[in-house]
Amino acid sequence: MTKTFGPTDQALRQVTVSCQAGETLTLVGPSGCGKTTLLRCIAGLDHPTGGTIRINGRDMTHADPQRRSTAMVFQNYALYPAKTVAANIEFPLVMGKVPRSERAGRVAGIARLLRLTSHLEKKPAQLSGGQKQRVGIGRALIRQPSVLLMDEPLSNLDAALRVDMRTELHELFQKLGATVVYVTHDQTEALTLGDQVAVLNEGQLQQQATPREVYARPANRFTASFLGAMNLLDGTVQDGYFRTPDGSPIVELRAPKAAATACIGIRPEDLRTADTSAGRPHITLTGRVRLLELLGSEELAHITLASDHKLKARLPVGTVIADTVRLCVDVERLHLFDAEGIRIDT
Ligand code: ATP
């Protein structure tokens, strides 16, 4: 799909994403990357400049929003303040001219599912943020849509409630077997809720894969550092070796390339103290500890290497006992990126 607003503003540049029935696809990326535009196009609230939208195999690119069997849950809940919770949830059925006799049963079922039964006669102003969000979800679910579209549904909740609601949503998606497209800028939400994660930046798809795959094998530098922390060390590839700027060869590449700038990526949790290398192929890095931050069960060590590269390492509490530390990382845990930031497989 391509979406252009005016002559210069390309919100989506040939983005292709897909999601199987019963799966959750999370769309993640920084502000302005085009997530909401993509979601609105799927809902039919916006129209793509080019491309095709298929739902259950049918071309819905130009179909009316009502015919798409999608339902949207908005960030700001968009509830009717003067209506009760029951009336808010029921509203799409009233609009759809579903007989009254059937409506009450369906509202009761959704209320049970979302633990709203005791709140059905309240007005939205009498509810907590999490309860309002559940009403918004109930109103979307009551139409039994083929695809549930959610735009940052947890972003108006405080941090603790967000975590609770995330788990609740996860359980709900599993229970319903719903097909969900979920927009978020939160990496944890994207990784925990998605069966598939699509990473967007500046209107372009960076990668779509399972959460495990995007984390373990990020397709480029952007994905590597947007989803989870990643130490990125610039250097060159020469004679088949990646070399840091001080010239030390630190990893051999299977496909030797001419001298080119490149970058090595190491996740902070993949660094261990050198005496725990356990015989696996690894590289060793020695550096000065600038700062040690207690994270609870682990410590985050801020380290400067002799090459002046800065690294962060997540280590068990008490591991760092001197100003200098020798760390190692298994070669299979290294990520390499070329000058354009594209992953190189070693
Ligand atoms: P956020 O996380 O901040 O909501 P987003 O990833 O959802 O961001 P979009 O809202 O899809 O991003 O916007 C993508 C780009 O399209 C932005 O550059 C935005 O300015 C532009 N854009 C979105 N809607 C319109 C519009 N109606 N008219 C013109 N430009 C728009």
Give the ipTM.
0.94
Q: Is 15 in the pocket of ligand 1 (CB under 6 A)?
A: no
> Does residue 291 share a domain with residue 142?
no
Nearest atom (ligand 1) to Cα of 36: 7
> Does residue 333 share a domain with residue 238?
yes
For residue 129, give the CATH number of its domain.
3.40.50.300
254 band by pLDDT with thresholds 50, 70 and 90: low
- Report pLDDT digits (tens) over 263-278: 889 999 999 987 766 6
- Listing from the earlier edge strand, what are the strands of the sheet with 249-252? 249-252, 241-243, 231-238, 260-266, 335-338, 343-344
- Reference 176, options 130, 138, 133, 131; nearest CA is 138
Domain range enclosing 67: 3-223
- Reference 283, options 221, 336, 334, 236; nearest CA is 334
Q: How far is CA 230 from the centre of its chain?
A: 16
* pLDDT of 256 strictly over 60: no
- Report pLDDT digits (tens) over 55-75: 999 999 999 998 899 999 988
> Does residue 216 share a domain with residue 236?
no
Q: Which residues contact 208 (CB under 8 A, 6 or more apart)?
A: 16, 17, 18, 25, 196, 197, 198, 199
Q: Is 11 in the pocket of ligand 1 (CB under 6 A)?
A: yes
User: In this structure, what is the dihedral angle of CA atoms 215, 216, 218, 223, given to the nearest 10 degrees?
Assistant: 20
Find residue 284's DSSP bridge partners. 328
For residue 314, give the CATH number of its domain.
2.40.50.140
Nearest atom (ligand 1) to Cα of 37: 11
- Reference 65, options 41, 90, 34; nearest CA is 41
Q: Please tell me the total count of domains within the chain.
A: 2
> Does residue 314 share a domain with residue 176?
no
Q: Count other Cβ atoms within 10 Å, centred on residue 138.
A: 22
Largest CA distance in the chain: 78
Q: Which of 1, 4, 33, 47 to mutate to test the pocket of ligand 1 (most atoms within 8 A of CB)?
A: 33
Range 196-222 average pLDDT = 96
Range 27-50 average pLDDT = 95
